[in-house]
Amino acid sequence: MKFIFVTGGVISSLGKGLTAAALGTLLENRGLKVALQKFDPYLNVDPGTMNPFQHGEVYVLDDGAETDLDLGHYERFTSTKLSRLNNLTSGQVYQTVLNNEREGHYLGKTVQVIPHVTGEIQKRIQFVAEHTRCDVLITEIGGTTGDIEGLPFLEAIREFGLDVGPGNVLFLHVTLVPFIKAAGELKTKPTQQSVAKLREIGIAPHILVCRCEQPLNKELRQKISMFCNVPYEAVIEEMDVEHSIYEVPLMLQRERLDDLVCERLRLNVPRADMSHWQDILRKLVAPQHRVRIGVVGKYIELQDAYKSVYEAVSHGGIANDCGVTIEKIDAEDIEKQGPKAVLDGLGGILVPGGFGERGIEGKILAAQYAREHRVPYLGLCLGMQIATIEFARHVLGLADAHSTEFNRATPDPVICLLEEQQHIRRLGGTMRLGSQPCQLVMGTLANHLYGAFLIHERHRHRYEFNGAYRARFEQAGFVISGTSPDGELVEIIELKDHPFFIACQFHPEFQSKPDKPHPLFKGFIAACHNRIHQRP
């Protein structure tokens, strides 16, 4: 078994996760069984309670783990199966160590960062490797070299590397080579310093992946090679991508990153055939058609908050050979300027998941606009709750209908707290989480799109459609097309007299891949495209 550790230097947001995932793609396409995991040095047990401004999207796995968004990249780029064991935080490590201490496992000993904390980290590497029976385990260490809280993780992987021996371990450092406009050149000093920092800790990286806006020339590569003590061919250029993140594996293949990794780890495997990726990319770069859709949210200025949603939309585009331009719309702008001013001319409207009251009325206006103007609508989680409230208010005439999340005293709580949530007080990890079965109703749009009767989708919510209102909704043309198998929980809704209006209580975006677009996104983009092209 071989181990690759991916660290990052100079600044955060360099795309370490993408690099790790793209390397995973290349190795998988060389016939290797690849597993990926992420270590996050923060003290939260998981990112589930963090604000998107702090952390970006929370990515949910089948088993209900609320994880870092890099795990989304791992699932989209490879066929690796992930569980809560694939995302380890300092919070989890300390929780385990402290529980062990109270249980008396370390009796007589002083409990210390080395070896107890580092030991727990190493156990997790070993466990995932054995559990997945992979050929190569790629472990990404979050944060930036030099962070105090990241030190135990770096120490743990240093020791681990020593144990498994050279030829079985590879340290890959992702770093920044900034272009300084005033000087008109790329600068290598930050990279040199970040590598020096790593070497101080005892880790000498084997490969440097240099993120840059401009190509690295021969001299720069030589300079980095010499000062950072890596062979010339191990200085890999990773430029900013022009069109799509799905260019990254192809770019790294051109730089021969996977050849280098296989050589270094003595893996004798054929070259990767990436022709299907090239095909995906062609559809992204030069699509036959183009549509413009609006994503109405509250964290729109933040690139990472709706990451999987944006990705899934682009997969829907790939499936239809249709380029998608995403307009990121602040729900509060709809409240201020009115729906027509903001939404007119869009091919489709998508309302993603969310929490908290800000922007809710704007989202309701967006759903109303989509329903009344027959614009394709896709609602995800909160987006389904919004569509329900809108229908109650404007079709059923329940003017003050609301979700009890936003108005506890509403006379018509069409969305209310799930039964199982009534007595929960603790916030962390207590929502209805993870993969749940859902039964589809024959002849509905959902049934048609999925081509199935039983599906499994990932959830993350506390509130649900209030069953007491079901008959009234259904009589007015609101179709409940998917429920939990016992028929109790409403999971998918759609509108009878509308070309495409569908919303779900789950998060389909977490199961979409570029080569396996999710049926709801595929159908949504197809509907947006049809609408535009049917116009006079």
382 binds ligand GLN (CB under 6 A): yes
Cα dist. 80→60, 77, 450 in Å?
15, 9, 23
**Residue 326 bridge partners (DSSP):** 293
C-beta of 3 vs 463, nearer to ligand GLN: 463
CA distance 325 to 292: 5
Between CA 76 and CA 308 the distance in angstroms is 9
Q: Which stretch binds ligand GLN (CB under 6 A): 92-100, 189-197, 310-318, 454-462?
A: 454-462
Beta bridge partners of 480: 493
Report the nearest approach of ligand GLN to the CB of residue 383 (Å): 7
**DSSP-derived secondary structure for 79-143:** -----GGGEEEHHHHHHHHHHHHHHTTTTTSPP-IIIIIHHHHHHHHHHHHHHHT-SEEEEEEPS
* Residue among 5 and 310 whose Cβ is closer to ligand GLN: 310
- Residue nearer to ligand GLN on the CB measure, 158 or 460: 460
HEC sequence for 502-527: EEECCCHHHHCECCECCHHHHHHHHH
381 binding ligand GLN? (CB under 6 A)? yes
Categorise residue 405: left if φ over 0, alpha if ψ from -120 to 50, beta otherwise.
alpha
Q: Which of residues 460-479 bind ligand GLN (CB under 6 A)?
A: 460-463
Q: Is 55 in the site for ligand GLN (CB under 6 A)?
A: no
Pick one of 190, 229, 355, 476: the residue that binds ligand GLN (CB under 6 A).
355
Question: Which residue has the closest beta carbon to ligand GLN?
Answer: 353
Question: Which residue numbers are catalytic?
Answer: 381, 507, 509
The least CB distance from residue 381 to ligand GLN, in Å, is 3
DSSP state of 4: E
Number of residues that bind ligand GLN (CB under 6 A): 10
For position 298 contacting ligand GLN by CB under 6 A, the verdict is no
Part in contact with ligand GLN (CB under 6 A); list of ranges 145-153, 175-183, 284-292, 348-356 = 348-356
Nearer to ligand GLN, 15 or 353 (CB): 353
User: CA 93, CA 43: separation in Å to the nearest integer?
Assistant: 9
Asked whether 5 and 158 are in contact (CB, 8 A), the reply is no
Among 353, 359, 379, 413, binds ligand GLN (CB under 6 A): 353
* Part in contact with ligand GLN (CB under 6 A); list of ranges 109-117, 151-159, 223-231, 353-361: 353-361
Sheet arrangement for strand 34-40:
87-89, 34-40, 136-141, 2-8, 169-176, 207-212, 235-239
Write the CB contacts of 530 (distance below 8 Å, at least 6 apart in sequence): 499
Residue closer to ligand GLN (CB basis): 52 or 249: 52
Footprint on residues 171-190 left by ligand GLN (CB under 6 A) = none
Q: Is 405 in the site for ligand GLN (CB under 6 A)?
A: yes
Cα(300)–Cα(292) distance, rounded to whole angstroms? Answer: 16
> What single-letter amino acid sits at 363?
K
Looking at 294, 354, 362, 519, which residue binds ligand GLN (CB under 6 A)? Answer: 354
Q: In angstroms, what is the minimal distance from the CB of 482 to ligand GLN?
A: 16
Contacting range for ligand GLN; rule: CB under 6 A; set: 211-219, 223-231, 347-355, 441-449: 347-355
Distance CA 242, CA 444 (A): 40
Q: Which is nearer to ligand GLN, 175 or 505 (CB)?
A: 505
Interface with ligand GLN (CB under 6 A): 353-355, 381-382, 405, 460-463
